[in-house]
Amino acid sequence: MTMLNLSGRSANMGPKLLLSCLLLCLLMSGQAAAQDKNVTCIAANVPSDENAYAELAFCLAPQVSVEPEQSAVANYTSGREVRTSLLLNGSRAVVHLLYPCRAPQSMLDAAAMKSLLDAYDSAMASAVYSNETLAVGGMPAYGGMVGDQIFVAYQPTNQTPVLVQLDGNMDEENLVAFLQYLRITLKEGTSPLIAGYCPDTTATTTTPAATTQVDTQTAAANALANSQVATQTTPAETRAATFESKKEKMASDIEAAKEKLASAKEKMRGF
Protein backbone atom coordinates (compact mmCIF):
# COMPACT_ATOMS: atom_id res chain seq x y z
CA MET A 1 0.00 0.00 0.00
CA THR A 2 1.34 3.41 -0.97
CA MET A 3 1.43 6.13 1.71
CA LEU A 4 0.27 9.49 0.40
CA ASN A 5 1.27 12.81 1.94
CA LEU A 6 -1.72 15.15 2.08
CA SER A 7 -0.95 18.60 3.05
CA GLY A 8 -27.67 25.64 -8.11
CA ARG A 9 -28.87 23.03 -10.47
CA SER A 10 -28.31 23.36 -14.20
CA ALA A 11 -30.99 23.35 -16.86
CA ASN A 12 -30.00 19.89 -18.09
CA MET A 13 -30.02 18.42 -14.59
CA GLY A 14 -32.42 15.63 -15.61
CA PRO A 15 -29.96 13.35 -17.44
CA LYS A 16 -27.16 14.18 -15.00
CA LEU A 17 -29.38 13.16 -12.09
CA LEU A 18 -30.38 9.99 -13.90
CA LEU A 19 -26.75 9.11 -14.51
CA SER A 20 -25.73 9.80 -10.91
CA CYS A 21 -28.58 7.71 -9.54
CA LEU A 22 -27.61 4.81 -11.77
CA LEU A 23 -23.98 5.10 -10.69
CA LEU A 24 -25.13 5.03 -7.10
CA CYS A 25 -27.28 2.00 -7.95
CA LEU A 26 -24.09 0.18 -8.95
CA LEU A 27 -22.78 0.78 -5.43
CA MET A 28 -25.81 -0.86 -3.83
CA SER A 29 -24.71 -4.37 -4.69
CA GLY A 30 -21.38 -4.09 -2.88
CA GLN A 31 -19.93 -6.04 -5.81
CA ALA A 32 -18.67 -3.26 -8.04
CA ALA A 33 -16.73 -4.22 -11.13
CA ALA A 34 -13.62 -2.67 -9.60
CA GLN A 35 -13.27 -5.73 -7.37
CA ASP A 36 -12.35 -7.84 -10.39
CA LYS A 37 -9.55 -5.55 -11.53
CA ASN A 38 -5.96 -4.97 -10.53
CA VAL A 39 -5.87 -1.95 -8.23
CA THR A 40 -3.29 0.16 -6.42
CA CYS A 41 -4.07 1.04 -2.81
CA ILE A 42 -3.11 4.32 -1.16
CA ALA A 43 -3.23 5.41 2.48
CA ALA A 44 -2.76 8.81 4.08
CA ASN A 45 -3.08 10.49 7.45
CA VAL A 46 -5.52 13.40 7.61
CA PRO A 47 -4.33 16.02 8.20
CA SER A 48 -0.83 15.03 7.14
CA ASP A 49 1.00 15.88 10.33
CA GLU A 50 1.72 14.35 13.72
CA ASN A 51 -1.74 15.39 14.92
CA ALA A 52 -3.71 13.31 12.42
CA TYR A 53 -7.29 12.43 13.33
CA ALA A 54 -7.76 9.57 10.88
CA GLU A 55 -6.23 7.41 8.19
CA LEU A 56 -7.81 7.58 4.75
CA ALA A 57 -7.29 4.58 2.47
CA PHE A 58 -8.66 3.74 -0.97
CA CYS A 59 -7.84 1.73 -4.09
CA LEU A 60 -7.98 2.62 -7.78
CA ALA A 61 -6.78 1.23 -11.09
CA PRO A 62 -2.99 1.69 -11.43
CA GLN A 63 -3.32 4.11 -14.35
CA VAL A 64 -5.44 6.60 -12.38
CA SER A 65 -3.54 9.77 -11.49
CA VAL A 66 -4.00 10.77 -7.83
CA GLU A 67 -3.07 14.34 -6.90
CA PRO A 68 -3.47 15.51 -3.28
CA GLU A 69 -4.80 19.07 -2.94
CA GLN A 70 -5.22 19.95 0.71
CA SER A 71 -6.12 18.56 4.11
CA ALA A 72 -7.13 20.85 6.94
CA VAL A 73 -9.35 21.41 9.96
CA ALA A 74 -12.18 23.93 9.50
CA ASN A 75 -15.10 25.30 11.49
CA TYR A 76 -18.76 25.03 10.59
CA THR A 77 -21.77 26.39 12.43
CA SER A 78 -22.52 23.41 14.68
CA GLY A 79 -19.14 21.69 14.86
CA ARG A 80 -15.79 21.24 13.16
CA GLU A 81 -14.57 19.15 10.24
CA VAL A 82 -11.42 17.58 8.89
CA ARG A 83 -11.50 18.16 5.12
CA THR A 84 -9.35 16.41 2.53
CA SER A 85 -9.48 16.92 -1.24
CA LEU A 86 -7.91 14.90 -4.05
CA LEU A 87 -7.89 14.96 -7.84
CA LEU A 88 -8.54 11.61 -9.52
CA ASN A 89 -7.59 11.99 -13.18
CA GLY A 90 -8.43 15.66 -12.75
CA SER A 91 -11.86 15.10 -11.13
CA ARG A 92 -12.18 16.28 -7.55
CA ALA A 93 -13.08 14.09 -4.58
CA VAL A 94 -13.57 15.77 -1.22
CA VAL A 95 -13.88 13.84 2.05
CA HIS A 96 -15.38 15.64 5.06
CA LEU A 97 -14.97 14.07 8.50
CA LEU A 98 -17.69 15.75 10.55
CA TYR A 99 -17.40 16.34 14.29
CA PRO A 100 -20.75 17.82 15.39
CA CYS A 101 -20.93 19.47 18.78
CA ARG A 102 -23.81 17.09 19.51
CA ALA A 103 -22.35 13.89 18.16
CA PRO A 104 -24.66 11.02 17.16
CA GLN A 105 -24.71 8.14 19.62
CA SER A 106 -26.25 5.62 17.23
CA MET A 107 -26.59 4.90 13.54
CA LEU A 108 -28.65 7.63 11.84
CA ASP A 109 -31.65 6.90 9.68
CA ALA A 110 -32.11 8.77 6.39
CA ALA A 111 -34.02 11.69 7.93
CA ALA A 112 -31.49 12.17 10.72
CA MET A 113 -28.56 12.02 8.30
CA LYS A 114 -30.24 14.63 6.10
CA SER A 115 -30.73 16.86 9.15
CA LEU A 116 -27.07 16.50 10.07
CA LEU A 117 -25.90 17.36 6.54
CA ASP A 118 -28.26 20.35 6.34
CA ALA A 119 -26.80 21.62 9.61
CA TYR A 120 -23.31 21.21 8.21
CA ASP A 121 -23.99 23.00 4.91
CA SER A 122 -27.23 24.75 3.99
CA ALA A 123 -26.60 23.91 0.31
CA MET A 124 -27.38 20.29 1.17
CA ALA A 125 -31.02 21.28 1.69
CA SER A 126 -31.42 21.22 -2.12
CA ALA A 127 -29.87 17.74 -2.47
CA VAL A 128 -31.78 15.00 -4.29
CA TYR A 129 -31.40 11.71 -2.41
CA SER A 130 -31.49 8.17 -3.73
CA ASN A 131 -34.30 6.09 -2.22
CA GLU A 132 -31.96 3.15 -1.76
CA THR A 133 -29.38 2.35 0.88
CA LEU A 134 -25.94 2.45 -0.73
CA ALA A 135 -22.53 1.06 0.19
CA VAL A 136 -19.24 2.80 0.94
CA GLY A 137 -16.38 0.52 1.88
CA GLY A 138 -18.90 -2.19 2.76
CA MET A 139 -20.84 0.12 5.10
CA PRO A 140 -24.43 1.31 4.57
CA ALA A 141 -24.66 4.87 3.27
CA TYR A 142 -27.04 7.51 1.90
CA GLY A 143 -26.37 9.50 -1.25
CA GLY A 144 -27.60 11.41 -4.25
CA MET A 145 -26.75 14.61 -6.11
CA VAL A 146 -26.48 18.26 -5.17
CA GLY A 147 -25.68 20.80 -7.86
CA ASP A 148 -23.23 19.10 -10.20
CA GLN A 149 -21.79 16.84 -7.50
CA ILE A 150 -22.51 13.27 -6.51
CA PHE A 151 -22.37 12.70 -2.74
CA VAL A 152 -22.59 9.88 -0.24
CA ALA A 153 -22.66 10.03 3.57
CA TYR A 154 -22.07 7.28 6.10
CA GLN A 155 -20.72 6.64 9.60
CA PRO A 156 -17.40 4.84 10.02
CA THR A 157 -18.17 5.33 13.72
CA ASN A 158 -21.43 6.46 15.30
CA GLN A 159 -19.96 9.73 16.52
CA THR A 160 -18.16 10.80 13.34
CA PRO A 161 -20.23 10.92 10.12
CA VAL A 162 -18.43 11.32 6.81
CA LEU A 163 -19.58 13.20 3.71
CA VAL A 164 -17.90 12.39 0.38
CA GLN A 165 -18.45 14.76 -2.55
CA LEU A 166 -17.40 13.82 -6.09
CA ASP A 167 -17.41 15.74 -9.35
CA GLY A 168 -20.42 14.70 -11.38
CA ASN A 169 -18.24 14.21 -14.45
CA MET A 170 -15.88 11.77 -12.73
CA ASP A 171 -15.28 8.56 -14.68
CA GLU A 172 -17.82 6.07 -13.35
CA GLU A 173 -15.28 3.28 -12.85
CA ASN A 174 -13.08 5.56 -10.76
CA LEU A 175 -16.09 6.77 -8.79
CA VAL A 176 -17.32 3.26 -8.03
CA ALA A 177 -13.84 1.96 -7.17
CA PHE A 178 -13.04 4.92 -4.90
CA LEU A 179 -16.23 4.46 -2.88
CA GLN A 180 -16.12 0.68 -2.95
CA TYR A 181 -12.62 0.53 -1.47
CA LEU A 182 -12.75 3.63 0.73
CA ARG A 183 -11.75 2.96 4.34
CA ILE A 184 -11.58 5.65 7.01
CA THR A 185 -10.05 4.66 10.33
CA LEU A 186 -10.56 7.21 13.09
CA LYS A 187 -7.73 7.58 15.58
CA GLU A 188 -9.12 6.81 19.00
CA GLY A 189 -9.11 9.63 21.53
CA THR A 190 -8.58 12.44 19.01
CA SER A 191 -10.99 15.21 18.02
CA PRO A 192 -10.69 18.71 16.56
CA LEU A 193 -13.32 19.91 19.04
CA ILE A 194 -11.39 21.90 21.63
CA ALA A 195 -12.59 22.64 25.13
CA GLY A 196 -15.04 25.54 25.07
CA TYR A 197 -15.72 25.40 21.33
CA CYS A 198 -19.15 23.83 21.81
CA PRO A 199 -21.65 25.20 24.36
CA ASP A 200 -21.85 23.21 27.59
CA THR A 201 -19.32 20.63 26.46
CA THR A 202 -15.67 19.91 27.21
CA ALA A 203 -13.45 18.32 24.61
CA THR A 204 -9.75 17.93 24.03
CA THR A 205 -7.72 18.02 20.88
CA THR A 206 -4.11 17.78 19.84
CA THR A 207 -4.24 20.87 17.62
CA PRO A 208 -4.87 24.53 18.40
CA ALA A 209 -8.19 26.16 17.66
CA ALA A 210 -8.79 27.81 14.32
CA THR A 211 -8.77 31.59 14.42
CA THR A 212 -12.26 31.88 12.92
CA GLN A 213 -14.91 32.35 15.59
CA VAL A 214 -18.34 30.88 14.98
CA ASP A 215 -21.66 30.71 16.84
CA THR A 216 -22.24 27.04 17.62
CA GLN A 217 -25.48 27.51 19.55
CA THR A 218 -27.91 27.04 16.67
CA ALA A 219 -31.37 25.65 16.16
CA ALA A 220 -29.96 23.25 13.57
CA ALA A 221 -27.79 21.56 16.18
CA ASN A 222 -30.75 21.22 18.55
CA ALA A 223 -32.92 19.78 15.80
CA LEU A 224 -30.23 17.28 14.95
CA ALA A 225 -29.99 16.05 18.52
CA ASN A 226 -33.75 15.47 18.62
CA SER A 227 -33.84 13.64 15.29
CA GLN A 228 -31.35 10.87 16.03
CA VAL A 229 -32.76 7.34 15.96
CA ALA A 230 -32.66 5.09 19.01
CA THR A 231 -30.46 5.55 22.06
CA GLN A 232 -28.49 2.35 21.93
CA THR A 233 -25.08 2.53 20.35
CA THR A 234 -24.71 0.27 17.31
CA PRO A 235 -21.13 -0.96 16.77
CA ALA A 236 -19.71 -0.58 13.28
CA GLU A 237 -19.17 -4.34 13.10
CA THR A 238 -22.87 -5.00 13.80
CA ARG A 239 -23.93 -2.49 11.15
CA ALA A 240 -21.62 -4.09 8.62
CA ALA A 241 -23.00 -7.55 9.40
CA THR A 242 -26.57 -6.32 8.99
CA PHE A 243 -25.71 -4.75 5.68
CA GLU A 244 -24.03 -7.95 4.50
CA SER A 245 -27.32 -9.82 4.96
CA LYS A 246 -28.94 -7.58 2.36
CA LYS A 247 -26.28 -7.99 -0.31
CA GLU A 248 -27.81 -11.05 -1.95
CA LYS A 249 -30.96 -9.17 -2.88
CA MET A 250 -29.08 -6.08 -4.01
CA ALA A 251 -26.67 -8.11 -6.15
CA SER A 252 -29.55 -9.28 -8.32
CA ASP A 253 -30.09 -5.71 -9.48
CA ILE A 254 -26.58 -4.93 -10.65
CA GLU A 255 -26.81 -6.21 -14.21
CA ALA A 256 -30.02 -4.26 -14.82
CA ALA A 257 -28.36 -1.17 -13.34
CA LYS A 258 -25.43 -1.51 -15.73
CA GLU A 259 -27.78 -1.77 -18.71
CA LYS A 260 -29.66 1.34 -17.58
CA LEU A 261 -26.37 3.16 -17.08
CA ALA A 262 -25.36 2.44 -20.67
CA SER A 263 -28.76 3.65 -21.88
CA ALA A 264 -28.48 6.84 -19.80
CA LYS A 265 -25.06 7.59 -21.31
CA GLU A 266 -26.56 7.29 -24.81
CA LYS A 267 -29.32 9.73 -23.89
CA MET A 268 -26.83 12.20 -22.42
CA ARG A 269 -24.97 12.47 -25.70
CA GLY A 270 -27.79 14.65 -26.98
CA PHE A 271 -27.28 17.23 -24.22
Q: Please report which confidence band the pLDDT of residue 136 belongs to, taking 50, 70 and 90 as the band edges.
A: confident
Residue at 256 is within a domain: no
Residue at 96 is within a domain: yes
- Position 193 pLDDT exceeds 80: yes
Res 133: pLDDT: 77
Res 232: pLDDT: 37
Can you spell out the DSSP letters for 112-136?
HHHHHHHHH-GGGGG-EE-SS-EEE
Res 8: pLDDT: 36
Number of domains in the chain: 1
At 224-239, the pLDDT tens digits run 334 333 333 445 555 5
Residue at 134 is within a domain: yes
- Position 145 pLDDT exceeds 60: yes
Domain that holds residue 114: 2-191+218-235
Res 219: pLDDT: 36
Which of 28-42, 98-112, 212-226, 249-263 has the highest mean predicted lDDT (pLDDT)? 98-112
Cβ neighbours of 105 (radius 10 Å): 14
What is the pTM assigned to this prediction?
Answer: 0.70
Can you spell out the DSSP letters for 218-268?
-HHHHHHHHH---SS---HHHHHHHHHTTHHHHHTTHHHHHHHHHHHHHHH
Residue at 19 is within a domain: yes
Residue at 117 is within a domain: yes
Residue at 248 is within a domain: no
Burial category of 62 from C-beta neighbours within 10 Å (exposed 0-12, middle 13-18, buried 19 and up): exposed
Question: What's the average model confidence in pLDDT over 16-29?
Answer: 56
Which of 2-6, 129-133, 206-210 has the highest mean predicted lDDT (pLDDT)? 129-133
Q: Please report which confidence band the pLDDT of residue 264 belongs to, taking 50, 70 and 90 as the band edges.
A: low
Residue at 140 is within a domain: yes
Residue at 103 is within a domain: yes
